[in-house]
Amino acid sequence: MKKKVIAAGHICLDITPVFPDKKVKQLSETLSPGRLIQMGQADVHTGGAVANTGLAMKILGADVTLMGKIGKDAFGDMVYNILKKYDAEAGMIFSDKESTSYTVILAVPGIDRIFLHNSGANHSFRASDIPQKALEETALFHFGYPPLMRSMYENDGAELVEIMKRAKAAGAATSLDMAAVDPYAQAGRADWEKILECVMPYVDFFVPSVEELCFMLDRKRYEQWQERASGKDITEILDIEKDIKPLGRQCMEFGAKVLLIKCGAPGMYYKTAGRRALLNIGNRVGLDLNSWADKEGFEKSYVPECILSGTGAGDTSIAAFLTAMLEGYPLEKTLQLSAATGASCVAAYDALSGLQTFDELEQKINAGWNKIGS
């Protein structure tokens, strides 16, 4: 019998207008006031951690239940019908009072993505929306994107702590993914360092992106990164020892057991706790302690065949990481499959179309798939 998974949290409708296939160095070369741009057909798919990570895990073979909140509106109907195609709609909660969340993704060739986002019904998601019986039957509880859910960062993250605490008490292993924080919105005024310190004792697998993690833990360092990058992708200028490892150490001190920091195109930094700490991970996942304990390193990305959009690549790499872990892969192979999945998914505009099976990915890896910088 497959191990059960719950993927809960933020869900939305992603709308990606397809720009002309011409790489630029500055956004102003494409977008400027008063200009009419002839666009390709818009790509419309579900988005957010629930759909991207949850559906990707389902496609990769995991037994996943999705839990999220949507509105009774046209966008909500679209989200529901897309999920229904995957037989994954049952866990959706319809809100009478709020609209469905949406994101317009501007993926200009040569420029990092810009997200125009409305969180909608995600703001009111609460611990009480998650059935206790479901938690008691699941091996892994994954929660994603609390910075885009007001209820998760109000009151110093008390609701988020309650959710993860309940999942742990029910015997499930837990994983937590974050999202970018709008510094000018209410989420930007939250004390994210305090929130992480409070929730991390109940998180087994912490899988944030490096930019969002630095914003939360060290705003001054994050601003220095922006200055150093001078408009380029921040991940291109980061030093593993000076920039990434200090953030990793702080997460582990807060209580994370397995840390995977997504660092964009270069790859992923990982660090795991010792055997004693890993024993506290829910035993339903069956983690091989010999392969997972006391590890640290940087897994470089594979060279993608082509790049159309990075939308959801981080989410799907996490989906592969968690699915491979549940299937009993050792850490080294789990990291390879995660990196390979991320490289495959940038070849599509949405998060799911580029997914390949683990067997297909292993064939490419064994055939000598090149890594970035190798």
A 10 A CB-CB count for 23 gives 11
CB-count exposure of residue 49 (10 Å: 0-12, 13-18, 19+): buried
Once rounded to an integer, what is the mean pLDDT over residues 74-80?
97
Answer yes or no: are the C-beta atoms of 66 and 83 closer than 8 Å.
yes
Q: What is the pLDDT of residues 179-222, one digit of tens each?
A: 999 999 999 999 999 999 999 999 999 999 999 999 999 999 99
Q: How confident is the model at residue 22 (pLDDT cuts 50, 70, 90)?
A: confident
H-only helix segments in 130-233: 132-137, 150-153, 158-169, 192-199, 210-217, 219-229
DSSP 50: I
Determine which helix (DSSP H) or strand (DSSP E) holds 316, and give its type and residue range.
Answer: helix 313-326
Quote the pLDDT of residue 311.
67
Tokens representing 10 are 């933020």
Torsion of CA 203, 166, 124, 183, to 10 degrees: -20
Once rounded to an integer, what is the mean pLDDT over residues 237-243?
95
Once rounded to an integer, what is the mean pLDDT over residues 265-275?
96
Identity of the residue numbered 261: I
Quote the pLDDT of residue 115.
87
- Tell me the average pLDDT of the chain: 93
Determine which helix (DSSP H) or strand (DSSP E) holds 142, and give its type and residue range.
Answer: strand 140-144
Handedness of CA 354, 355, 360, 366 (dihedral sign): positive
Q: What is the pLDDT of residues 80-130, one digit of tens each?
A: 999 999 999 999 999 999 999 999 988 888 877 788 999 999 999 999 999
Quote the pLDDT of residue 26.
79
**In this structure, CATH architecture of domain 4-8+49-69+129-366:** 3-Layer(aba) Sandwich (3.40)
Whether 309 has a pLDDT exceeding 90, the answer reads: no
Q: How confident is the model at residue 76 (pLDDT cuts 50, 70, 90)?
A: very high
What are the boundaries of each domain within the chain?
Answer: 4-8+49-69+129-366
**Is the model's pTM score more than 0.95?**
no
Quote the pLDDT of residue 37.
87
